Amino acid sequence: MGKELIIDQDPKSPIAEIFRTLRTNLQFMTSNQGLKTLLVTSSVPGEGKSWVSANLAVAFAGEGKKIALIDSDMRKGRLHTIFEIDKKPGLSNYLSGVSEVEDKEDLFSYFKKTNVEGLYVMPAGDVPPNPSELLVCDKMQELVEKLKNTFDMVIFDGTPVLLVTDSVILSRQLDSSLIVTSYKSTKMGDVEKIKKMIENVGGKIAGVVINKIPVAAKKYESTYYYGNHEESNKSDNVDVDSISSQEENTNIEDEILKEIEEFDQKEEKKEEEND
Ligand SMILES: Nc1ncnc2c1ncn2[C@@H]1O[C@H](COP(=O)(O)OP(=O)(O)OP(=O)(O)O)[C@@H](O)[C@H]1O
Ligand SMILES: [Mg+2]
């Protein structure tokens, strides 16, 4: 399996621990509402939706449950790369009916079993000309119902909200959405914007993940970020953490939010100066 699946490769690592905490937080927050379908989305590309959804799915599977991970980014989904599986047939083939599988209605013709016990991945499939249209069709509604009846938990890896409408469309069909942000790069204003866009269509927000936090950030070392971690193929000193929408947010979370706000203000000032 791919080296981005930290939690599978090194279950004792700090990052694996953080993903298990994120899983528990999601379970607690939504225990009364029965969270079964979760969308992972973000404002712009590259903030870590696919990485977070893949590792979170492994964390859920670790509990002995039957978990489906769906690549709903039919434009440039890459879950197949992360799990080292075929890209098709996948979601677009199921929704459009365009595929070579024998039984087109058999959900499991489109799923790939992974090395992680209980985890099934539906890759994105062939790139269709009309991804947003496929997501609003009745077949999609039916699929969500079928998935709910078949799996204990279904995680959808989505597209960036500010770029295409796919995730907003999906958010209203699923129980809740998790917003991934990238430390000191995602703008607070953008997070507020996508929160509103999702809520305007009747979608719910489960929480916000702050991804790609440098582990070297000295002041967090003893509290949030548990030391060094070598991972990923790109940057080797980043970590992930989550802010739940629960009330017990710790001071450190407020501190991070404050830092991000300050960063936003500095960026705005820079932009003004350039104008
Ligand atoms: N916490 C992290 N630490 C290190 N690398 C990370 C982390 N999160 C994501 N990455 C890397 O950043 C890159 C972008 O991540 P990813 O593909 O998950 O983003 P995305 O939000 O799904 O992007 P897109 O919008 O294009 O689908 C990948 O190379 C991934 O391995
Ligand atoms: Mg992605």
For residue 95, is it within any domain? yes
d(Cα 104, Cα 122) in Å, to the nearest integer?
14
For residue 259, is it within any domain? no
Pocket test for ligand 1, best of 9, 43, 51 (most atoms within 8 A of CB): 51
Per-residue pLDDT tens over the stretch 235-274 = 333 556 654 433 333 455 566 667 667 777 777 788 788 8
In terms of pLDDT, which residue wins out, 163 or 29?
163
For residue 254, is it within any domain? no
CATH number at residue 114: 3.40.50.300
Residues at CB less than 6 angstroms from ligand 1? 4, 42, 45-51, 73, 76, 78, 160, 211-212, 232-235, 238, 240
User: Residue 121: which pLDDT band, with cuts at 50, 70 and 90?
Assistant: very high
Pocket test for ligand 1, best of 42, 234, 236, 240 (most atoms within 8 A of CB): 234
Distance from the alpha carbon of residue 156 to the mean position of ligand 2, in angstroms: 10
Range of the domain at 34: 6-249
For residue 256, is it within any domain? no
Task: Quickly tell me which residue has 């960036």 as its tokens.
Answer: 160
> Residue 152: its pLDDT value, please?
93
Strand-pair category, 205-214 with 238-244: antiparallel
pTM of the model: 0.84
Instruction: Say which DSSP state 120 is in.
Output: E
Residue type, 199: E
The token pair that represents 109 in the structure block: 């013709």
Enumerate residues with CB within 5 Å of ligand 2 (an ion).
49-50
Instruction: Say which DSSP state 88 is in.
Output: -
For residue 225, is it within any domain? yes
User: Residue 13: which pLDDT band, with cuts at 50, 70 and 90?
Assistant: confident
For residue 104, is it within any domain? yes
Q: Is 61 helix (H, G, I), strand (E, B) or coil?
A: helix
For residue 257, is it within any domain? no
What domain count does the chain have? 1
For residue 62, is it within any domain? yes
